[in-house]
Amino acid sequence: MNRSDTAGEAVHRTPVLIVGGSLVGLSMSLFLGRLGVPHTLVERHAGTSIHPRGRGNNVRTMELFRTAGVDRRIAEAASVLADNHGILQTPGLVGDVGEWLFREIDPGGGLARFSPAGWCLCSQNDLEPVLLRSARELGGDLRFGTEMMSFDQDADGVTARLKSRETGEHTTVRADYLVAADGPRSPVRERLGIGQNGPGDLFHNVSVTFTSRDLAAVVGDRRFIVCYLTSPDADGALLPVDNRERWVFHAPWHPEHGETLEEFTDERCAAHIRRAVGVPDLDVTITGRAAWHAAERVAERYADGRVFLAGDSAHEMSPTGAFGSNTGIQDAHNLAWKLAAVLDGWAGPALLGTYDAERRPVAEATSARASSRSVEHSHPGYTPAGGATGAAGRKGGILNVALGYRYPGGAVLGADTAAPVVPDALALTGEPGTRAPHLWLDRAGTRISTLDLYERSLVLLSSCDSPWRDAAAEVTARLSVPVDAYGLGDGPAADLTPDPGTDWAAAHGITADGAVLIRPDGFVAWRHEIHSTDPAKTLHEALVALFPGT
């Protein structure tokens, strides 16, 4: 929507302005579009990423993309790497040497107990076009080749000044809220004067893209996600792009010793790759290079008034485990439903304050785990201070980090505030502040996961013969808070029927007389474990406490 201000200048109005059109910004656009929130996204580059990076999409991220209806498109874009699973560490690729840090992402298929989704290896240059297409189909106003020059905020909104990098045309945008997904050197964060905590820079690599027709024969049937090559004079990380001719090699770079990016010539990179692989005459054609910096930093706060940080602008993490991009996408999902709730008027502005309270501790815990994992994997170029080792970090695995993180505070009631944000083991048992359990259900003849219920409203689960559904209808009408109430059971009164032998109530940590309230992001907001003499009053009190100002 456009209008003219008092000076006659055209002003574009939008509820949410997103700055940055990479993975996190595009995900924010997708999630807002799903919730019907009009928004504008600006990205200074002319198009999406052309470099194959950021490929690991963990199970929680894929759950969110499943809910958003884009998981099948992503699977199609990722099909070429669908059979790549393990991480190999070896001094060279000639012969059967080295060791697998792990052979399968999900050995034995145990993940199916916890989620209807799975891991997906989809490079950023393949994933971003899928998100862009889907976000535009949902009505997103996405403007590439457009740079935000400046912004100011007041009590009622944010005024930003944009410039088209193609035409030089300037535009003024007035938004209710601004989301900065503008990368680790975030101009928005700098403009707000928000500092960062953490160790800072960890190591530096040069990501080299190259083609080699003969390398596939050397690799053979070792379908790895990444191979850490540990030759003392040519270490690095090798990643397949298509398992045939296109590859990426991460070479250690030491700018702290005066080494410049210009020193990484085609000849040097090709020779390094040949030594690392162990084939002196390997055909190598360098097609590109890009510097990247691994760091561990988390912003001191994720919000300033009506401006929010998400993704790399809020946190930087070591790349091992692909935690950084996944954490950023999950930032976007957490913030999107809260912005929608406030803009729709069923939650007060205080809800937006829970974004920092929930997501910043997750980033702090996850970034520490990412650095620990880099030590475990002896990531090329990384020499941790103090001679730290990864032995202590191995016990927790990766699934507890990707799926088991919790919110001890924020928009939750009854969470265990003393519990660690990232637990040592995965246990999704319906505790407030954790992702609600996954169970298979029958809904009018269609098989769905409980997670498929959570996106646009709060959801109350109770037994089909309990009074909680009627209580939810009464309270919803009174508070104008959207609550979809479902009765679970086997009889004709049931809205949802769990698989035979499934005790849905026990899985959520309640009795058959209790109820559990789940947020639009699939996290448990509150649960009442036993019978209530006045369920309407009990639910009303919970909603008012969760969403003050409703």
Supply the CATH number for residue 22's domain. Answer: 3.50.50.60
Is residue 6 predicted with pLDDT exceeding 50? no
Q: Inform me whether the pLDDT recorded for 389 exceeds 60.
A: no
Same domain, 177 and 310: yes
The domain total for the chain is 2
The pairing of beta strand 246-253 with beta strand 285-299: unpaired
Q: Are residues 315 and 453 in the same domain?
A: no
Q: What is the pLDDT of residues 334-350, one digit of tens each?
A: 999 999 999 999 999 99
Are 469 and 333 within one domain?
no
Do the domain assignments include residue 408?
no
Domain-embedded: residue 104: no
Determine the pLDDT at residue 296: 93
Tell me, yes or no, whether 364 and 494 share the same domain: no
pLDDT tens, 435-460? Answer: 999 999 999 999 999 999 999 999 99
- CA-closest candidate to residue 522, choices 66, 23, 167: 66
Residues facing 227 on adjacent strands: 88, 238
Query: For residue 138, what pLDDT is reported?
Result: 98
Which of 120-124, 131-135, 263-267, 542-546 comes out lowest in average pLDDT? 120-124
- The answer to whether residue 523 scores a pLDDT higher than 80 is yes
Hey, what long-range contacts does 370-376 have (CB within 8 A, 24 or more apart)? 370/296, 370/317, 370/318, 370/319, 370/320, 370/321, 370/323, 370/324, 371/199, 371/202, 371/296, 371/317, 371/318, 373/318, 373/320, 373/321, 373/398, 374/202, 374/294, 374/318, 374/319, 374/320, 376/101, 376/320
Asked, for residue 233, whether it belongs to a domain, the answer is no
Stretch among 50-59, 64-73, 192-201, 438-447 having the lowest mean pLDDT: 50-59
Q: What is the pLDDT of residue 41?
A: 98
Percentage of the chain lying above the pLDDT 70 cut: 95
- Between residues 391 and 344, the one the model is more confident about: 344
Q: Which residues pair with 289 in a beta bridge?
A: 208
Of 38-47, 94-103, 444-453, the poorest mean pLDDT is in 94-103
Domain presence at residue 251: no
Q: Residue 4 above 50 pLDDT? A: no
d(CA 62, CA 116): 9
Looking at the fold, whether 466 and 398 belong to one and the same domain comes out as: no
Structural domain of 30: 2-80+118-193+298-402
Q: Which of 42-56, 197-211, 510-524 has the highest mean pLDDT?
A: 510-524
Q: Looking at 109-113, 228-232, 375-379, 503-507, which range is the least confident one? A: 375-379
pLDDT reported for residue 94:
92
Residue 380 has pLDDT above 70, yes or no: no
Please tell me the predicted confidence (pLDDT) of residue 394.
Answer: 43
| Least confident residue range of 383-397, 427-441, 454-468 | 383-397
DSSP-assigned states of every residue in 356-415? HHHHHHHHHHHHHHHHHHHHHTT-TT---GGG--STGGGGGTTHHHHT----SSSS-SS-
- Which residue is it, tokens 């970034």? 367
Q: What is the pLDDT of residue 495?
A: 97
Residue 9 falls inside a structural domain: yes
Same domain, 448 and 524: yes
* Pair type for strands 285-299 and 236-240: unpaired
**Are 353 and 303 contacting, i.e. CB atoms less than 8 angstroms apart?**
yes
| Domain membership flag for residue 88 | no
272-299 pLDDT per residue, tens: 999 999 999 999 999 999 988 889 999 9
- pLDDT greater than 70 at residue 98: yes
pLDDT digit string (tens) for 505-518? Answer: 999 999 999 999 99
Decide if 261 is inside a domain.
Answer: no
Instruction: State the sign of the Cα–Cα–Cα–Cα dihedral 286, 290, 291, 295.
Output: negative
Domain final residue pick, 348, 378, 402 = 402
Range of lowest pLDDT (106-110, 116-120, 224-228): 106-110
Tell me the average pLDDT across 309-323: 90
Whether residue 309 contacts residue 189, with contact meaning beta carbons closer than 8 Å, is answered with yes
**Model confidence at 8: pLDDT above 70:** no
State the DSSP code for 300: S
| Residue 383 predicted with pLDDT over 80 | no
Residue 486: what pLDDT? 98
Residues 445 and 355 reside in one and the same domain: no
Domain-located, residue 253:
no
Q: Which helix (H) or strand (E) holds 478?
A: helix 468-479
User: Do 387 and 460 fall within a single domain?
Assistant: no
CATH of the domain at 463: 3.40.30.120
153 and 8 housed in the same domain = yes
Residues 319 and 377 in one domain: yes
Those residues whose C-beta lies under 8 Å from the C-beta of residue 387, and which sit 6 or more positions away, are none
Q: How far apart are CA 83 and CA 76, in angstroms?
A: 13
- Are residues 71 and 21 part of one domain? yes
* pLDDT computed for residue 487 by the predictor: 98
Q: pLDDT value at position 321?
A: 73
Average pLDDT, the chain: 92
In percent, the amount of the chain with pLDDT more than 90 equals 82
- Model confidence at 217: pLDDT above 80: yes
Let me know whether 161 and 28 are in one domain: yes
